[in-house]
A and B are shown apart, each in its own frame.
Chain A
């Protein structure tokens, strides 16, 4: 069976500090990978998605970046955090072109607080 991991689970960082959130998927190959941000009491905003190693598409211009160094690893980064980067970050995967339903499977999330 497939599983998706995210770490850390919670993170408190000062403004201007760097950020690195990691997501890994097990039990599948060539997944599509996604990063979402969920502000308090709001829906999900797609930040980045990737259909393969080194292939990153950005949905929202911002001071965040994403990388996919390995097939099942997706990293969200920032060089300098802003207060507005606070939120709940969710990683998700889907089966990509072989998918019949386009459904996405979500990780447990990372709660980021920027002070």
Chain B
């Protein structure tokens, strides 16, 4: 069975600062995908960024980037120049190649302070 652990239930940061959300996972597979989803107060789940495990290069999407450490099974999300609209719950998720099911972490509630 695969697991995803987010050890930071809540975080807060001043607007324009950089924040890093942690995620560790466990899987017996070698090929898999990792995702960060954002759930703002509207509760709509939005895909923020994704990473293929076979790619060594860390994924980036504008202000969002990841630090993927495959050996350590770590997948952290860095948000640069944080904005008020970044306030949301952030979920880390894992799916194995060939298996479309996602395993989610329990989430980190991020608050951006004006």
Q: A: which residues have CB within 8 A of B?
A: 32, 34, 42-44, 46, 49, 51, 59, 88, 90, 92, 94, 96, 99, 101-106, 108-109, 111
Q: Are B104 and A43 in contact (CB under 8 A)?
A: yes
State the interface size on chain B (CB cutoff 8 A).
Answer: 22
Q: Are A42 and B106 in contact (CB under 8 A)?
A: yes
| Total A-B pairs, Cβ < 8 A | 50
Which of B13-21, B40-48, B60-68, B70-78 contacts its partner?
B40-48
Interface secondary structure of B, over-half rule: loop
Cα–Cα, bound, A32→B100 (Å): 8
Q: Are B100 and A43 in contact (CB under 8 A)?
A: no
Partner of B100, one of A44, A94, A105: A94
- Give the distance to chain B from A48, nearest Cβ to Cβ, in Å: 11
B33 surroundings in chain A (CB, below 8 A) = 101-103
Partner of A103, one of B42, B50, B97: B50
CB within 8 Å for A44 and B91 given contacts A49-B101, A102-B97, A103-B50: yes
Cα–Cα, bound, A106→B37 (Å): 10
Cα–Cα, bound, A51→B42 (Å): 28
